[in-house]
Amino acid sequence: MRIFSGIQPTGELHLGNYFGAIRQWVELQHENFCIYCIVDYHALTNESAKPEELRHNRKELALDLMACGIDPEKSILFVQSAVPEHAELCWILGCVTSFGDLARMTQFKEKAKGQQFVNGGLFYYPVLQAADILLYLADHVPVGEDQLQHLELARRIARRFNWRFGELFPEPEPILGKVPRLMSLADPARKMSKSYGPDHYIGLMEPEQEIWRKIRTAVTDVGLTPGQAMSPGVANLFTLLELVAPAEVVEEFRVAHAAGRLLYKDLKETLFRYLMEILRPVRERRRELEGKEVVEEVLAAGAEKARKIARQVLKEVRALVGLD
Ligand code: ATP
Ligand code: MG
């Protein structure tokens, strides 16, 4: 398979990103051709993005990804804006994209809600995302569930381009992880996300006591009785526990919940303990990498490899549409 996926340098890497996407990125790189992109053009749609922060976040995110196991020897890791072909293909693909389709995107509606100034980039975001994927003729995209609608649109764009100008792009398929949608611990009705603020995510590299605070104060429910259905907050804690703890431990807690004798404090303490076990090696690798100053070289080499492919594909695109 030819794999492409991206992540925005808009803040810390969190458990939703990790279990929803990055863990699959790592697994896939062993047997596939993988291209992983830090999508800084996308991050500009974020009204509060400051130039210095953006520069800083890109580097930090590259380090985080490498600490999670993205291996630059196996995969191409690069920053989107180092390959300006993304922007050119975005424009061309915009001309085979339906306005009505864009207007239906739920992420746009959600992110635009409550903002005073809604920039056009936010509306056009899914076209750039389609360009990111199609520029490398990728056929599979490991993502969280929130991206399925965008991916469906990328398929429609590919189809419409192929129909109008000639067969070129594969229709990319999603690869979902075991937990396609992890919820916020502070508000289990919303997905865990960087843009709702730090209380709504657990960062992989956060101080241990901060992680404990967020788990300790996670929303549950009051007055558990035998046979009671699981509230969304408790279900989310179980989802996390399943990701990090042995099956017997999860089962024990399930039985206790069903019997109405589960103490949420015990559940939270156990979750915290197992989660830290999973995070510890990642955090250690992150500290090691920090001292090495490898990241710039890795990203430059990645951009060069990516650009070679991008140039070739764009050349074919330009010829097909009549620009060359
Ligand atoms: P933002 O709030 O800035 O959009 P984000 O937290 O949604 O940030 P992205 O960079 O948009 O992060 O997404 C990176 C990847 O992580 C995508 O594949 C996305 O589907 C996945 N992802 C993000 N949040 C979750 C979540 N809560 N559960 C599962 N996957 C998620
Ligand atoms: Mg997002």
CATH classification of the domain holding 271: 1.10.240.10
Phi-psi region of 197 (alpha: psi -120 to 50; beta: other; left: phi over 0): left
Please report whether residue 188 resides in a domain. Answer: no
Please report whether residue 268 resides in a domain. Answer: yes
* pLDDT of the residue at 114: 83
**Residues 22 and 150 placed together within one structural domain of the fold:** yes
Contact 135, 314 (CB under 8 A): yes
* Catalytic hit among 191, 214, 268, 308: 191
**Residues 12 and 139 placed together within one structural domain of the fold:** yes
Measured from the CB, is residue 22 less than 6 Å from ligand 1? no
* pLDDT of the residue at 291: 80
> Which of 13, 60, 109, 193 to probe ligand 1 with, by most ligand atoms within 8 A of CB?
193
Please name the residue whose Cα sits nearest to atom 26 of ligand 1. Answer: 16
**Residues 70 and 95 placed together within one structural domain of the fold:** yes
Measured from the CB, is residue 29 less than 6 Å from ligand 1? no
Number of domains the chain contains:
2
* Catalytic hit among 59, 113, 194, 315: 194
Please report whether residue 157 resides in a domain. Answer: yes
* pLDDT of the residue at 97: 98
How far, in Å, are 1, 139, 317 from residue 167 at the CA level?
Answer: 19, 14, 10
**Residues 141 and 160 placed together within one structural domain of the fold:** yes
Please report whether residue 203 resides in a domain. Answer: yes
Widest CA span in the chain: 71
* pLDDT of the residue at 288: 94
Distance of alpha carbon 139 from alpha carbon 148, whole angstroms: 14
Q: Which domain holds residue 202?
A: 194-285
Q: What is the pLDDT along the chain (324 residues), one digit of tens a residue?
A: 999 999 999 989 999 999 999 999 999 999 999 999 999 999 999 988 899 999 999 999 999 999 999 999 999 999 999 999 999 999 999 999 999 999 999 999 999 998 999 999 999 999 999 999 999 999 999 999 999 999 999 999 999 999 999 999 999 999 998 898 999 999 999 999 987 889 999 999 999 999 999 999 999 988 788 888 899 999 999 999 999 999 999 999 999 999 999 999 999 999 999 999 999 999 999 999 988 889 999 999 999 999 999 999 999 999 999 999
* pLDDT of the residue at 200: 95
- Chain centroid to Cα 313, Å, comes to 25
Query: Can you give the CATH number for the domain in which 84 is found?
Result: 3.40.50.620
Please name the residue whose Cα sits nearest to atom 16 of ligand 1. Answer: 17
Annotated catalytic, 74? no
Please report whether residue 38 resides in a domain. Answer: yes
Ligand 1 center–CA 178 separation, angstroms? 15
**Residues 144 and 277 placed together within one structural domain of the fold:** no
**Residues paired with residue 207 on neighbouring β-strands, in sequence order:** none
Q: Ligand 1, closest atom to CA 8?
A: 10
* pLDDT of the residue at 130: 98
Annotated catalytic, 191? yes
* pLDDT of the residue at 233: 96
Please report whether residue 184 resides in a domain. Answer: no
Among 321, 316, 323, smallest CA distance to 134 is for 316
* pLDDT of the residue at 156: 98
Please name the residue whose Cα sits nearest to atom 25 of ligand 1. Answer: 16
Residue with tokens 């990055």: 22
**Residues 10 and 153 placed together within one structural domain of the fold:** yes
